[in-house]
Structure 1
Amino acid sequence: MSPELIQNLVTAYFDNLQSMNLAGWVELFTEDALICDPVGKPPSKARENAPAFFGLLSMAFEKLELSQDNVFIAGNGAAVKWTMRVLGKSGKPGMGEGISVFAVHESGKIQQVSSYWDDAALMAQIKG
């Protein structure tokens, strides 16, 4: 699989998440794709649980910005160091950093995403 294809897939993942484009985001995943976000919580089925996931995001955040700070592509995957800046529904800003590791299926879709970050710390920043 070409590094360009993997880069485009990762960029689409972050762009669709940031713009809250549920349909576009879901299309990036294989039927059985799993998300561990953050790692340590039970894995989630990307396609099946996407509506609930996007519902939680829209309830918590007024605005969501994601930057890909560093992207490392190897084999059929990538690791991305990212920064998230949000404006909570409370009006308070928050910022978090993390690393997401992507496994890409030979079909050109995301098979698994494992994200390492402290979601509780971000939520504490925006609490009203």
Structure 2
Amino acid sequence: MSPETIQALVTAYFANFQAMNPDAWIESFTEDALIYDPVGKPPNKVHETARKFFGLLSMFFEKLQISQDQVFIVENGAAVKWTMQGWAKNGKRGTAEGISVFEIHETGKIQQVSSYWDDAAMMAQVRD
């Protein structure tokens, strides 16, 4: 798989996440794809949990902004160092940094994402 194809897939992943667009986001994944977000928590089956997850996000956050600070592509995978800012509906803003590792299936869809970050610290910044 070409680095350009992988970069486009990763960019779509982040763009659709930021837009809180579950339908387009799900299209990037294989049917059996798993997400470890963050690593250490039980995995989520993308096609089973994404709509509920995005529903919760949109109830809490007014806006999310994610930048891909550095992208490293090797063979059928990528690691992305990212920064996220979230504006909660209560007016508070939080920032988090992390690294997500993508495993890409030969069909050109994401098979697994493992994200390393402190989600609890982000949520502590935006809670009432």
Q: Normalising TM by the smaller chain, what interval?
A: over 0.9
- Report the Cα offset of residue 94 of structure 1: 0.5
Q: Over aligned residue pairs, what C-alpha RMSD do you find?
A: 0.6
Distance (Å, rounded) in 1 between the aligned partners of 2:59 and 2:124: 15
Distance (Å, rounded) in 2 between the aligned partners of 1:10 and 1:47: 18
Report what 2:112 is aligned to: 112
Report what 1:77 is aligned to: 77
Distance (Å, rounded) in 2 between the aligned partners of 1:10 and 1:118: 21
Q: Name the SS for the 2:124 alignment partner.
A: helix
Distance (Å, rounded) in 1 between the aligned partners of 2:54 and 2:119: 15
Q: Which runs of no fewer than 5 residues in structure 2 stay unpaired?
A: none
Distance (Å, rounded) in 1 between the aligned partners of 2:49 and 2:71: 26
Q: Which runs of no fewer than 5 residues in structure 1 stay unpaired?
A: none
- 4+ residue runs of structure 1 moved beyond 3 angstroms? none
Q: Name the SS for the 1:107 alignment partner.
A: coil
Identity of matched residues, %: 70
What TM-score does the superposition give when structure 1 sets the normalisation length?
Answer: 0.98
Deviations 1:28-85 (A, max 9, x none): 0000000000000000001111011101211221110000000000010000000000
Distance (Å, rounded) in 2 between the aligned partners of 1:72 and 1:60: 31
Aligned residues: 128
What TM-score does the superposition give when structure 2 sets the normalisation length?
Answer: 0.98
